[in-house]
Structure 1
C-alpha cells in the first residue's frame, strides 16, 4: 500500500471513529430507535414503511444512491428497498443488507432508566430496541461507508447495492421470493453485511453462513373437549402425556437428538477444526454451560455451531397459572430444529410423521411453521481472507472466523438464490439481550465495528478479492 493510500485509509478510519466520539452515531441511532418497527405487531405497519421512507432512503440518497421501495411479494407484508450506487458498470459490485424491523418492545419489562423506544446509555451499554438487532449494526456500516466516501472524495472505486427488508423478525417473509424476482437488480460479485453476534464481547469475528432452522409444532388433540380428570381419567386419552412421550422420543434427557430423521453428519474437516478451537461463554453476563448436554463428545464450539439441536421453545396444555381438574383436549409444543448442511430438512414433516408412527405416537401431528436452509462459505474462499486481513489491519487484533453462525439469518437468499460468496461482520455479542428486555450495544464494539467496516470499504477500492 502506497503512503498516499495508507494516509487515506487512516483518514477514513479516523472519520468513522469520530462519528462515535463526536455524537453523530448516538444521535442517528437515537432517531432510528424511536421508530417502533415491531414486525410482529399488526398495528405497526405505518412505522415499518416510515422507517424506509423517512430514515433509510434519505440517508442513502445523501450518499449518492438511487433508491426504490418495492411492495413485498407476500400481500400485507412490509416493503423492501433496493439502493444502487453505480460508479461504472465495468467495476465490481458489493451487495450489503440490513433490516429495520425489531421484535416487540416489552416496555414494562425493561430495567429502570431504560426503554425500548428511547436510547439510553449506562456505562458502555447503549440500550434500546434494535440497538443490537439490527439498527445499530446497519447504522455502523452506513456511517463507515460515508466516512470512506468522504476520505475518497466521493469515489469508492467500485459499485455498491443495498437491500433493506422490514420483516426479518417474522421470518423474512417474502425475501427469498423477492431475491428471485429481482435477481438482476441485485446482481453483485460479493456480499458483506452485519447481523447476529460475534463470538464474544472481546473477540472481533466474521462468520460465513448460518445454521438453518425449522420451526414446527407437535400437536395432540383428542376431540373430547376438556373433561373432568376424576370422572374420565383412566378411560380417555390425555394429550399432554402423549405429547410428553413424543418429545422424549426425539432426544435423550440430556439434549442429544436421537431421532435419525432430525440428525445430520457431525462436523468434520476444516470447519470442525475451526470450531474445535473456539472458547464459548465465560463472561459475567453469559449463561452457565452444561458440558454434559447434547453431543458430549464434541467441543463447545462444535456443539454450538456444528451439529443439529432440537429446542422446545414453547409448551402448553391447560392453564398452568389457573389449573383446573380437567384432562385437556389439546397439548402442543413449538420446536426449533437448528440445522447444519446435510440435513434432510425439506422432508421434515413426512420423515418426522413416519418416525412418530413407528413409536406408536401417530396421533401426535407435525405442523410445519417454516424455516431456512443452512449455509456455509468455504473458509478457503479468497473473500474470507480479504475481510479477515482488512479487519486485522484496522484493529491490530486477531479476528476469529466462524464457519457459520449458531443462530439463523436469511443467508440462503444471498448464498443460494443470488449465488454470492457471503461474509458477515457482526457488531454485537451473545449477551446483548436481543429479542429480550434490555437489548443493548456495547460502545467498545461500536468503535471496533466502525473501524472494521471503514477498513473493508476502503480496501475494496484498492484491490478486489478474486
Structure 2
C-alpha cells in the first residue's frame, strides 16, 4: 500500500498496523531487537546499549522522516538514549513517546529447555524472549503505528518525539540530568509511554503515573557483642523483641497503618471513581488478596492505587541459619513505604522518627537506604483533557472504555518527566500479569501485541485529526 498524501482514513491506518503484525513484519523487527543483549544490570554492556540505539532501533525509523540523535548519558558508564524526532510544524501538538531498550539479566540457564532469552521463540500465542514485553516489544508498537499513519496519509499531522533510554532497569540513572540538559529537544505537550502489564487480557489500560517508594532500615543496636542466654537472658534487653514492638506500633495486626502522617489526608474524587470502576482479572498463579488485611472500608483497588502501604522487606536478628544460645546485640529490619502524590515522599522518614519517639522507642534508629531504593510518586488527574481524549480514542477503536488506573502500583520514571518537562503522563501497557518479566521465560501474548498496534494506530490518527487538546 502506497502513501496517500493528506488523505487516507482512520480505518486504513489501523488496517496497515494490523497488516504489519499479520504479515510478520512486526515479528521480524522484534527478533532483531531482542537479539541485542542490552542487560543494563550487567557490567560491560555499554557497547550493546549503544548499538541498540545507534543501529538496531535506529533501523526501525528508516524512511519515516525522523531525525535521529543518540544522547549520551550525563552519568559516566551509563547507557545512552535514542531520540527520534519528526517536527512537522512547531504550531502543532507534540507527543513525546517513551520506551526503554535495556532489559534485566538474561539468565539463560534458568529458562525452560528450548528457549533462548536472545531469540524470539513462538509457541502459539506466546512469544518468548527477553524484552518481548519489557520493553522492546512495547516501544516497537508505538513506532510501527507511527509508520502506519505516515504511510496512510503521507504525514503525521502533529509532531512526534520518540525517546528510548537504556537505564530503566537500574533506576534510570542520569535521566533527570539528561532531561534538564536537553529540555528544548524533548519539550512536548504530552507524554505517552508503553510499558508494564494490563489489569486484564480482555480490555486495555491507561495508567497515569506511579506510587512512590521510600525504603529505610530500623535498627536496634544495644551492645557490641551477643551475651550467653543462660547467664544473661531475662536481664539484658532483647533487640529482637524491642524491634518487633516498634514494628507493631507502625502497622496493626490486621495490616492497618497506625502512623497518620503516612496516609493521604484525602483521596480526590476522580481518583476514587477511577479505582472503583476498575475491572480486574484473576490470573492463575498470582496472589489472592487476604480478607481483612489493610485499611478497613476501602476496596482492594483503592488500597493498591490510592492508598499507602508499609511492607517489611527483611527482618533479622542473630544468625537464623545457625542460631546460637545468646541474647543478641542487634536487630535490623528493612521497610518500604509505597505512597501516592497525596503524601510527600520527603515527609515519610521524619514521620517515622517522630512516631517512634512518641511511642517510646528512642533506641530504634531510622536509617535511610541508598537513593536507588527511593523514587517519587506521580499522577496525572484522570479528568485531565489529554487523558479524557486518549480514553475516547481507545474506546473508539475497541468499542469500550479502557481501565483507567490513577497511578501504577509499580515504579516508573513518570515523576521525572512530569517535573522536568511539565507534561501530562499517560502509559498504555500491552502485557499481562503472567508474562514473567524480570524472570526466566519472559513472554508476550501475541493478541495483546496486535491489539496494541491497532490501539496506537487509532490514537495517532486521532492526534493527527486534532482530537487532542489544543497546544499549550
TM-score w.r.t. the length of structure 1 is 0.90
Conserved? CA contact 1:100–1:135, under 8 Å: yes
1:82 is paired with a residue whose SS is: strand
Compare 400-409 and 90-99 and name the one that shifted more. 400-409
Task: Call closer, same or farther: CA 1:21–1:312 in 2, change over 3 Å.
Answer: farther
1:431 aligned residue? 434
Write out aligned runs for 1:311-330 (5 A).
311-317=311-317, 320-321=320-321
Q: CA deviation at 1:383?
A: 1.2
Conserved? CA contact 1:214–1:369, under 8 Å: no
Q: CA deviation at 1:106?
A: 3.4
Task: Call closer, same or farther: CA 1:108–1:44 in 2, change over 3 Å.
Answer: same
1:460 aligned residue? 463
Q: CA deviation at 1:244?
A: 3.3
Conserved? CA contact 2:40–2:166, under 8 Å: yes
2:457 is paired with a residue whose SS is: helix
Q: CA deviation at 1:309?
A: 0.9
Within the alignment, does 1:369 sit opposite 2:370 as a pair?
Answer: yes
Task: Call closer, same or farther: CA 1:227–1:101 in 2, change over 3 Å.
Answer: farther
Q: CA deviation at 1:419?
A: 0.8
User: Hey, what's the Cα distance between the residues in 2 that align with 1:53 and 1:331?
Assistant: 49
Conserved? CA contact 1:206–1:424, under 8 Å: yes
Conserved? CA contact 2:131–2:442, under 8 Å: yes
Ranges in structure 2 where 5+ consecutive residues have no aligned partner: none
User: Hey, what's the Cα distance between the residues in 1 that align with 2:82 and 2:315?
Assistant: 37
Q: CA deviation at 1:226?
A: 6.2
Alignment equivalent of 1:379, drawn from 372, 377, 382:
382
Output the aligned Cα RMSD.
2.7
2:150 aligned residue? 149
1:83 aligned residue? 84
Write out aligned runs for 1:28-427 (5 A).
28-60=29-61, 62-153=63-154, 155-221=155-221, 224=224, 233=233, 238-317=238-317, 320-321=320-321, 331-361=331-361, 362-370=363-371, 371-427=374-430
Ranges in structure 1 where 5+ consecutive residues have no aligned partner: none
Conserved? CA contact 1:240–1:330, under 8 Å: yes
User: Hey, what's the Cα distance between the residues in 2 that align with 1:50 and 1:232?
Assistant: 63
Residues 389-414 of structure 1: CA distance to partner in whole angstroms, max 9, x if unpaired? 22222223332222222222111122
User: Hey, what's the Cα distance between the residues in 2 that align with 1:218 and 1:62?
Assistant: 56
Q: CA deviation at 1:137?
A: 0.9
User: Hey, what's the Cα distance between the residues in 2 that align with 1:156 and 1:246?
Assistant: 58
Q: CA deviation at 1:116?
A: 2.9
1:440 aligned residue? 443
TM-score w.r.t. the length of structure 2 is 0.89
User: Hey, what's the Cα distance between the residues in 1 that align with 2:226 and 2:439?
Assistant: 34
Q: CA deviation at 1:388?
A: 1.5
User: Hey, what's the Cα distance between the residues in 2 that align with 1:409 and 1:440?
Assistant: 20
1:184 is paired with a residue whose SS is: helix
Q: CA deviation at 1:206?
A: 0.9
Q: CA deviation at 1:430?
A: 2.6
